[in-house]
Amino acid sequence: MPSIEPSTVAASYARAVLNATADAAAGGAGPGAWASPLARLPFTEVRALWDAVIGAPGGDPYAGLRVGDAITPGGLHVLGHVVLTSASLAEAAEAAVRYHPLVSQAGTVTADRGSETTRIRYRPTVDPATMHPQQVEAVVAGMVRAARWIAGDDWAPMSASFTHTRTGSAEPYARILGCPVAFDAAENAITVANRDLDLPRAPHDPELGALHRAYADRLLRELSASVTLAERVRQWLDHAPLDGTGPADAGRDVHLSPRTLRRALQEEGTSWRALLDDARHRRTRRLLETTDLPLDRIAPLVGLSGATALVRAFSRWEGVTPGTYRARASGVTGSGRAASRAPERRGGPGPG
Please provide the DSSP assignment of 147-171 as one string.
Answer: HHHHH-TT---SEEE-SSPP-S-SH
206 to each of 99, 220, 301, 321, how far by Cα in Å? 18, 20, 47, 44
The closest alpha carbon to 138, from 92, 199, 93, 188, belongs to 188
Answer left, alpha or beta for residue 270, where phi above 0 means left and psi between -120 and 50 means alpha. Answer: beta
**How far is it, in rounded angstroms, from Cα 174 to Cα 127?**
28
DSSP codes joined into one string, 172-195: HHHHHH-S-EESS-SSEEEEEEHH
The rounded distance, in Å, linking the Cα atoms of 124 and 104 is 10
pTM greater than the 0.95 cutoff: no
* Residues whose CB is less than 8 angstroms from the CB of residue 14 and which lie 6 or more positions away in sequence, other chains included: 27, 29, 34, 41, 45, 46, 49
Tens digit of pLDDT at every position of the chain (352 positions): 333 345 889 999 999 998 887 554 444 444 444 556 678 888 888 999 999 888 866 678 999 999 999 999 999 989 999 999 999 999 999 999 999 999 999 999 999 999 999 999 999 988 877 899 999 999 999 999 999 999 999 999 999 999 999 999 999 999 999 999 999 999 999 999 999 999 998 778 899 999 999 999 999 888 877 677 888 898 889 888 998 889 998 888 777 788 888 988 988 889 999 999 999 999 999 999 999 999 999 999 999 999 999 999 999 999 999 999 999 887 754 444 444 344 443 333 333 3
Helix axes 272-290, 322-330, angle to 10 degrees: 50
What residues contact 61, with CB distance under 8 A and at least 6 apart? 134, 166, 167, 168
pLDDT of residue 58: 65
Euclidean distance between CA atoms 53 and 45, whole angstroms = 13
> Which of 97, 135, 150, 144 has the alpha carbon at shortest distance from 13?
135
Look up residue 334 and give its DSSP letter.
T
**Quick one: pLDDT at residue 263?**
87
d(CA 53, CA 50): 5
